[in-house]
Amino acid sequence: MLCYLFTSHNGQKVWKQIPVDTVRTIMEQLHMVIENTDNYSTIESNQGLLYHVYFAFLTRVKGGRSVAQFHGYEKHSVLMGFHHVYKQLYHLNVVMPLFSHMADDLDF
């Protein structure tokens, strides 16, 4: 399903078309899926996909808000979902900016 988010539909990427509340729900569920994964090699082999999902969803949920506003006004469960994915990427030695900051090399 996560791969589908980066395909085009009606000339625009799918992740840009889904409602922000749906993005929040997916991030909360992704957090739970990662925690309950029996085979860690699945996470390792999909680190590029997780990287792009993290930043695409951060773009959608954070929007134009500052990092402080994002941390202050976003639901705790959504922030935990983002943080868990961030921790997994960091653990996989993916070069990441500070939490909730955007990477400079994004192309999605």
| Residue 108 banded pLDDT, cuts 50, 70, 90 | low
Q: How far apart are CA 70 and CA 63, in angstroms?
A: 9
How far apart, in Å, are the Cα atoms of 83 and each of 9, 14, 18, 61?
29, 23, 21, 14
Whether the Cβ atoms of residue 106 and residue 55 lie closer than 8 Å to each other: yes
Please state the separation of Cα 41 from the chain's center in Å.
Answer: 19
More confident: 9 or 104: 9
Where do the domains of the chain lie?
A: 23-29+40-102
More confident residue, 104 or 61: 61
What confidence score (pLDDT) does residue 14 get?
A: 96
Query: What's the pLDDT at 38?
Result: 85
pLDDT in the model for residue 90: 94
Mean pLDDT of 39-66: 93
Q: Other C-beta atoms within 10 Å of 104: how many?
A: 6
